[in-house]
Amino acid sequence: MQLKCNFLPQDDGRCGWYEMLPPPPPSKPLKGDIKADWVVLGAGLSGLAAARRLAELQPNASIAVVDARRVGFGASGRNSGFMVDLPHDLTKHDYTGDQSADLAQIRLNRAAIDYVRGIVKTHGIECDWREQGKLHGAVEPRGERALEGFAKGLSALGEPYSVLDARQMKAVTGTDFYRAGVHAPGCVLVQPAALVRGLGATLPENVRVYEDTAVREIVVGKPHKLVTDQGRITTPRLILANNAYAAQFDKLGLKGLMLPIYTYGSLTRQLTPDELARLGGEESWGLIPADPMGTTVRRIAGGRICIRNSFTYNPDVSAGSSRLERVRESHRRSYERRFPMLSGIEFEYTWGGALCLSRNGGAPFGEIAPGVFSAVGCNGLGLTRGTIGGKLIAEYALGSKSELLDILLQQPKPVANPPEPLLGIGVRSTLMWKEWQAGVEL
């Protein structure tokens, strides 16, 4: 079976989290033909967790991780940096659902946080790791009702939280834009690009990372062959951790299951001490909107504000500059509504990144062809779901058994998408409708 990689990760150079880091050491692209016991396609959170876990369990195996770009450049370094422990279904208005499924998801998410925390501590990875939880903020009565539902859901799960009124929300965020909030303490906030780069730089010795190495074609067989611009890798076992780019693999059935959806972030320039004093509030916080289609906001230590909103359906897994300009305008409006005391502060960066969603939140976890394992489909929650999916796919591929693996295997599989053009029309109109419904939460 031959898989063509027609859609490749683009070099947009616009992600603030990545651009704020010092330049990485030169990359070592693949040159020539090699063999490896395992190949992991994609050096995001999912791929790095898979490679690390394989190496931990098989210290003598040769493991190659291949990425078209630098580590930290993909969606894993482009997100808002919320390591979410609680259920967080982007399609559900109150973020919670079936209670036993929620409890199972919490176990998986917390296992991911524990795993990453251990690595961050052991290796001293500097990624602004903050165990400070997340705020959920409501702007209008509909949002308040959603937060009440969310709080009820948390009570039923036995999860701690605290409720904040408008005054308390202002004391944290500096803005009086939010009428009400809920603080959930288990979320960790990070600088995502710094975290991913740190995870990539501290892999065990039997893992080789080939950056700037786009895979153009995969021949699935015995063994598999991955063809790159300057070389070829032969391997008996391949782990796919290429996020939404996997949705082009029709022959593996992934095209009919996964949805390449983009979302976008902007980061202001560094605020001056005078501007920070005008803003007030706490030095670092992260806020999730009451409506999943609303605006996520972070204030990061050092004094910048990060805005995230807008979802678009991008089957070619890229976002051109005109779309980024439109999104920037939307970010500007959301920013101005929240921070009138800092009106006109420029965004230094605006970027997009791919999510790999399915219509029911399921992931095609497992062996999807002989010797081909899937760790794609973390449904917009890469920091925890991607990490644990990557770690557990390695265990699964090695035949390990564990309660966490059972939980993951019991989760729903993705439901099939309708064919194009119905799919595109349906997804685009649903996104527009939901965004309109989000109203001022956006």
Candidates 24-32, 375-383, 394-402, 422-430: pick the segment binding ligand FAD (CB under 6 A): 375-383
Check residue 189 for interaction with ligand FAD (CB under 6 A).
Answer: no
Q: Which is nearer to ligand FAD, 48 or 169 (CB)?
A: 48
Nearer to ligand FAD, 172 or 247 (CB): 247
Distance (Å, rounded) from C-alpha 365 to C-alpha 367?
A: 7
Q: How far is the CB of 278 from ligand FAD (least distance, A)?
A: 27
Helix (H) and strand (E) counts in the chain: 11, 21
Among the candidate windows 42-50, 136-144, 230-238, 299-307, which touches ligand FAD by CB under 6 A? 42-50
DSSP 221: S
String of contacts with ligand FAD for each residue 320-349, x by CB under 6 A: ------------------------------
- Does residue 382 interact with ligand FAD by CB under 6 A? yes
Amino acid at 106: I
300: helix, coil or strand? Answer: strand
Nearer to ligand FAD, 153 or 382 (CB): 382
Q: Which of 119, 257, 378, 388 binds ligand FAD (CB under 6 A)?
A: 378
Asked if 15 interacts with ligand FAD (CB under 6 A), we say no
Within positions 409 to 428, which residues make up the interface with ligand FAD, using CB under 6 A? none
How many CB atoms within 10 Å of residue 164? 22
- For the chain, the distance separating the N- and C-terminal CA atoms, rounded to the nearest angstrom, is 44
- H-type helices in 97-191, by residue range? 99-123, 141-157, 166-173
Task: Classify residue 348 by its DSSP letter.
Answer: E
Contact pick of 79, 175, 206, 358 for ligand FAD (by CB under 6 A)? 79
357's tokens: 């969603």
H/E segment holding residue 22 = none
Q: Which stretch binds ligand FAD (CB under 6 A): 132-140, 277-285, 336-344, 382-390?
A: 382-390
Of residues 173 and 296, the one with the C-beta less far from ligand FAD: 296
Residue found under tokens 């678009």: 312
For residues 344 and 438, which CB has a smaller minimum distance to ligand FAD in the complex?
438
Among 63, 65, 67, 388, binds ligand FAD (CB under 6 A): 67
Cα–Cα distance for residue pair 297/335, rounded to 1 Å: 9
Tokens 């969606």 correspond to what residue?
A: 75
**285-289 and 134-138 strand pairing:** parallel
46 binds ligand FAD, rule: CB under 6 A: yes
Q: Name the residue nearer to ligand FAD (CB basis): 152 or 216.
A: 216
Alpha-carbon distance of 309 to 350, in angstroms, equals 11
Say if residues 259 and 245 touch (Cβ distance below 8 Å): no
Q: How far apart are CA 346 and CA 197, in angstroms?
A: 27
Nearer to ligand FAD, 5 or 368 (CB): 5
Binding residue for ligand FAD (CB under 6 A) from 42, 137, 260, 414? 42
With CA atoms as reference, report the closest residue to 47 among 415, 363, 374, 356: 374
Nearest approach in angstroms of CB 434 to ligand FAD is 17
**Is position 227 an interface residue for ligand FAD (rule: CB under 6 A)?**
no
- Distance (Å, rounded) from C-alpha 234 to C-alpha 157? 47
Site for ligand FAD (CB under 6 A): how many residues? 43
Q: Which of 30, 40, 43, 239 binds ligand FAD (CB under 6 A)?
A: 43
CA atoms of 206 and 129, how far apart (whole Å): 27
Among 38, 65, 80, 407, binds ligand FAD (CB under 6 A): 80
> Per DSSP, which regions of 151-256 are E strands?
162-165, 180-184, 188-189, 207-210, 215-219, 224-228, 231-235, 237-240
**Candidate list 109, 175, 235, 243; residue touching ligand FAD; CB under 6 A:** 243
Tokens of 429: 């109109």
Select from 193, 203, 244, 239 the least CA-distant residue to 220: 239
- Which phi and psi angles does 347 have, rounded to 5°? -85, 125
For 206, the token pair is 């039997």
**Is there binding between residue 308 and ligand FAD (CB under 6 A)?**
yes
The stretch near ligand FAD (CB under 6 A) out of 62-70, 103-111, 407-415, 426-434 is 62-70
* C-beta of 79 vs 96, nearer to ligand FAD: 79
Q: Residues 376, 363: contact at Cβ < 8 Å?
A: yes
| Minimum distance from residue 274 beta carbon to ligand FAD (Å) | 29
| x-marked contacts with ligand FAD along 268-307 as a string, rule CB under 6 A | ----------------------------------------
Question: Which of 261/345 has CB closer to ligand FAD?
Answer: 261
Interaction site with ligand FAD (CB under 6 A): 5, 8-9, 41-47, 66-69, 74-76, 78-82, 84, 214-215, 241-243, 245, 263-265, 308, 353-355, 378, 380-384, 386
